[in-house]
């Protein structure tokens, strides 16, 4: 049975899609994306006996993401500001045990789900808020570098 890991959608130059930045097609050479728990989820304490316990609220089980890339062109960062909401179809995949109740935990990018052995892989789609961004340019290489820091709403 074939797997579909990292197969680009038809007429796409990258796995990553960000809606809300305007209608802009860009290439993604050197793109990387991280997903990590938001800071508010990291609330663990030690009891008087030294045992480590989690006291975080399950409502804070959300992701932060950092996307970095060096492209020929950058996405339309003009008039992009902290606090804006965008829809991100992630390049990074999440994985769960096939048949696990309640899985997948996040919305699935259409066509990205596949199974390999006992595990199901998928690319999540999330509504995220812009927390920070930057744009750089290397004249000698003619490289547009950019990064975008996001948090799930």
Residue 18: what are its φ and ψ, rounded to 5°? Answer: -125, 110
pLDDT of residue 132: 97
Tell me what the pLDDT averaged over the chain comes to.
88
pLDDT of residue 51: 97
**Helix/strand number for the chain, H first, E second:** 0, 12
Residue 149's nearest CA partner among 85, 60, 24, 64 is 64
pLDDT of residue 91: 92
- pTM score of the predicted model: 0.85
């Amino acid at each position: 049975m074939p797997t579909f890991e990292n197969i680009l959608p038809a007429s796409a130059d990258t796995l990553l899609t960000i809606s809300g930045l305007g209608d802009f097609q860009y290439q993604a050479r050197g793109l990387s994306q991280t997903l990590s728990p938001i800071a508010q989820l990291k609330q663990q304490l030690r009891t008087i006996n030294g045992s480590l316990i989690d006291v975080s609220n399950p409502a804070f089980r959300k992701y932060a993401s950092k996307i970095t890339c060096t492209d020929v062109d950058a996405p339309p960062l003009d008039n992009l500001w902290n606090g804006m909401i965008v829809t991100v179809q992630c390049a990074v995949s999440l994985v769960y045990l096939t048949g696990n109740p309640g899985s997948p935990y996040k919305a699935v990018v259409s066509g990205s789900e596949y199974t390999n052995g006992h595990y199901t892989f998928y690319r999540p789609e999330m509504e995220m808020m812009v927390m920070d961004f930057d744009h750089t340019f290397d004249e000698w290489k003619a490289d547009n570098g950019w990064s975008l820091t996001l948090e799930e709403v």
